[in-house]
Structure 1
C-alpha cells in the first residue's frame, strides 16, 4: 500500500473488493478522530483521478460528496429556495422539477453534470414542450445549481452555460374583436362575473389586479374639493369614478412592478357595472349573515372570501360560450382585447403602455405585438365611445 502525494495531501490507494479504494488524509478533527476523504474505482488510475478532482474541489471549498446528485440539488432548492413564494408557485415549480428535471437528470451526480448533458436534455424536451415551459424547466435546474453553488456543493453552474432552445409553438394569446367584445359584455350581464369582465375589458387591468381590487380603492371625483374619495365613504351618486390599481393577487399583495401601480378613470359602463355589483354584493351579505367573511373585496365569493384564478377561468368560459365565441378563452385575454381595441382606435402606444402599467413601450410592443396596430391618437374616453355612455368631462 504505497503512499503518494496529491497536492499537499498524503494519500494511499489499496485493493478493496473488485477494485481499488483511495484515501486522502486530511489531518485530525477537533474530537481527535482522523479525517479521510475516500474514492473508489475499478483501477488505480481511475481512483487517482478521482482523488485529484476531490482535492481540487476541497481546495475550492466544495463540500458535496461524490454521491450528491441533481435530484438532491433540486430537492434542496425546492425545500429551501422557494421561501415566501405562494403555494401555487411552489406547486408549479415542484411539478416542473419532478416531471422534467428529476426524472431525466436526477441520478447524475452534480459534479459529473456537464453542459453537454444539459444541452441534450433540453433538446429532447424541446419537441414536446412550448418555449415558455422549456424556459421555466431550464430555470429550475439553473436555480437549483445556483443554490448548490452558494452552499459550496459545486464550483460551476453548467446549466447557465447553455442556451434554452426553441420549443414547440404554444397556444398564442388572442384578442376579442370589437363585435366579439360587445357579445361578451352582453352575455356577462347575467353572470356574477359581469362587473369583473367589464372592468377587465375596459381598463386593461391584469386578472390578478382585478381579483385584488378593494372597495376603498374604487373612488369618486368630488368637484367641490377637487379630490378622489372612496365610494365606501361618498357612495356612487357622482359623475366620475376611478380605481386605484395598487394591489394584486400575488405574494405580498403588491402589483407586478412599481410602474404597475396606477390610477385609472373608469368608463361610464364600468362605473355603472360596479355600482350594480356593489348593490348585489350588499344583498349577498344580508343572505350570508354570520357566514360572511369581510375582506372588503370588490370581487369575491358569495361568502366574501377571495376568488381564485381557477373559479374565474371557469366562470369566464361560461360567459364566452354564451356569447357564441367559444370556450377557448382566458380572463387575461380581456387585457389583450383592451390593448387591441385601443390600438384600433388610434390610441398611441405610449398611452396604452401607461394604461396597462408597463414601464415603457418596449414591454408593450413585445407582449402585445399581435394586438397592436399602426397608431396615431385615452382610456375611459375611448371606451365610452365604443361601448356607450357619455364621455367624461
Structure 2
C-alpha cells in the first residue's frame, strides 16, 4: 500500500477489484469515527489525479461528492429552493426541468459541467423553443447551480457564463374581431365559463386576475350612500356594478404591479353574466354540501376550489371550436381582444393603459402593438356600445 502526501493530507493508493482505490484521511468526525475521502480509477496515475483534484476542492470549500450530478442539483433546487412560490409556479418549473434540463444534462457530474455543454444544449433547444421559453429553461439551470454554489457543492456557475440564444419564432398573441367575439360569446353561453369569458373580454383583466376575483370585490353603486358596496352585502338589484382588481393568482395574492390595482366599472353584459353566474354557483354550493370549499371565489370548480389554468385553457378551446374559429386560441387573448376593440372604437391609448393596469402607455404600445389602431370613451361605456344591443338583435 503506497503512501503519498497531497497538499497537507496523507493519502494511500491500493489495488482493489480491477483497478485502484485512493483514500485520504480527514481525521475524525463529531461522532468519533474516522473520515476518509475515496477515489477510484483503472491506474494509480488516474487515482492520484483524482485525489489531487479532491484536495483542491476541499481547500476551496467544495463538499460535494464527485458523483453529484446536474440532475441532483436541479432536484435539490426544486425541493428546497422554491419555498413560498405558488403551486402553479413550482409545477411549471418542474415540468421545464424534467422536459428540457434533466434529459440532456442530468447525467453530467456537476463539477464536470462546462460552459460548452450549456452552449450546445441551448443551441439545440433554440431550434424548437421560443426565446421566452428558452430563457426560462436556462434560468432553471442557473438557479439550480446557484443554490449548489451556496451549499459548497460546486465552485462556479458555468451556466451564468453563457448567453441565452434567440429561439424559434413563438406563437404570437392575436385578437378576436368583433364578429369573432360575438361568436365566442354565443358559444360560451351554455358553458360554466361564460361569465369568465364575458368579464375577460369586456374588462381586459388578466387571466390570473380573473381566477383570483372574489365576490367581496364585486361591488354595486348605492346612490343614497354615494359609494360602492360588495354584492355579498347589497345583492344584484342595482344598476351599476364594478370589480376591484386588487388580487392575482400568485404568491401573496398581489397584483402584478401597484398600477394593476384598479377598479373597473362593468358593462351591462358583464353585470348580467355575473348575476346569472352567482345564482348558478349558489346551486352548485347547495349540491356539493359539505364537500364545498368556500374560498369566496367568483370563478371556481364545482366544489369551490380555485380553477386550474390548464383546465381553463381546455374549456376555452372547446368554446372557440364551437364558435367556428378553431382551437388555437388562449384565454389571455380575450385581453388582447379587449384592447383591439377599444382601439377600433377610438378609445385613447392612455385610457386603455389605465384599464388594463399598465404603468404607462409604453408597455401597452409594446405588448399590444398589433391590437392598437391609430386613434383610440371609457371601458364600460364602449363595451355597452359594442355589445349592448346583442340580446336585442338576437331576439329580432
d(CA) in 2 for partners of 1:75, 1:288: 38
Partner SS, residue 269 of structure 2 = helix
Q: CA deviation at 1:333?
A: 1.1
TM-score (norm 1): 0.87
Within 5 Å, give how 1:1-393 maps onto structure 2. 1=2, 3-6=4-7, 9-12=8-11, 14=13, 16-17=15-16, 21-30=21-30, 33-42=33-42, 46-285=46-285, 292-376=292-376, 378-388=378-388
Partner SS, residue 147 of structure 2 = helix
d(CA) in 2 for partners of 1:301, 1:30: 54
Contact 1:13 1:20 in 2 (8 A): no
d(CA) in 2 for partners of 1:188, 1:253: 28
Per-residue CA shift, 1:104-129, capped at 9, x if unaligned? 11221111111111001111222233
Cα 1:364/1:51, change in 2 over 3 Å: farther
Cα 1:284/1:28, change in 2 over 3 Å: closer
Partner SS, residue 269 of structure 1 = helix
d(CA) in 2 for partners of 1:367, 1:238: 36
Per-residue CA shift, 1:301-348, capped at 9, x if unaligned? 444444333333333233222322222212111111112222333333
Partner SS, residue 228 of structure 2 = strand
TM-score (norm 2): 0.86
Partner SS, residue 143 of structure 2 = helix
Contiguous gaps of at least 5 residues in structure 2: 390-396
Q: CA deviation at 1:19?
A: 5.3
Contiguous gaps of at least 5 residues in structure 1: none
Partner SS, residue 164 of structure 2 = coil
Contact 1:62 1:152 in 2 (8 A): yes
Q: CA deviation at 1:58?
A: 1.8
Partner SS, residue 141 of structure 1 = helix
Per-residue CA shift, 1:126-178, capped at 9, x if unaligned? 22333333222222211111111111101211111111222222322211012
d(CA) in 1 for partners of 2:68, 2:160: 19
d(CA) in 2 for partners of 1:30, 1:299: 56
Q: CA deviation at 1:222?
A: 2.1
Contact 1:11 1:22 in 2 (8 A): no
Q: How many residues are treated as equivalent by the alignment?
A: 387
Partner SS, residue 219 of structure 1 = strand
d(CA) in 2 for partners of 1:107, 1:317: 38
Per-residue CA shift, 1:51-71, capped at 9, x if unaligned? 443333222221112111111
Cα 1:286/1:80, change in 2 over 3 Å: closer
d(CA) in 2 for partners of 1:167, 1:375: 34
d(CA) in 2 for partners of 1:222, 1:358: 29
Query: Aligned residue for 2:394?
Result: none
Cα 1:32/1:229, change in 2 over 3 Å: closer
Per-residue CA shift, 1:248-271, capped at 9, x if unaligned? 333443333443222111122212
Query: Aligned residue for 2:392?
Result: none
Contact 1:13 1:47 in 2 (8 A): no
Q: CA deviation at 1:182?
A: 2.0
Partner SS, residue 196 of structure 1 = helix
d(CA) in 1 for partners of 2:325, 2:197: 15
Per-residue CA shift, 1:169-221, capped at 9, x if unaligned? 23222110122112222333333322211110011111222122222111112
What is the alpha-carbon root mean square deviation over aligned residues? Answer: 2.8
Partner SS, residue 253 of structure 2 = coil
Contact 1:220 1:231 in 2 (8 A): yes
Contact 2:10 2:25 in 1 (8 A): yes
Q: CA deviation at 1:32?
A: 5.1
Partner SS, residue 330 of structure 2 = coil
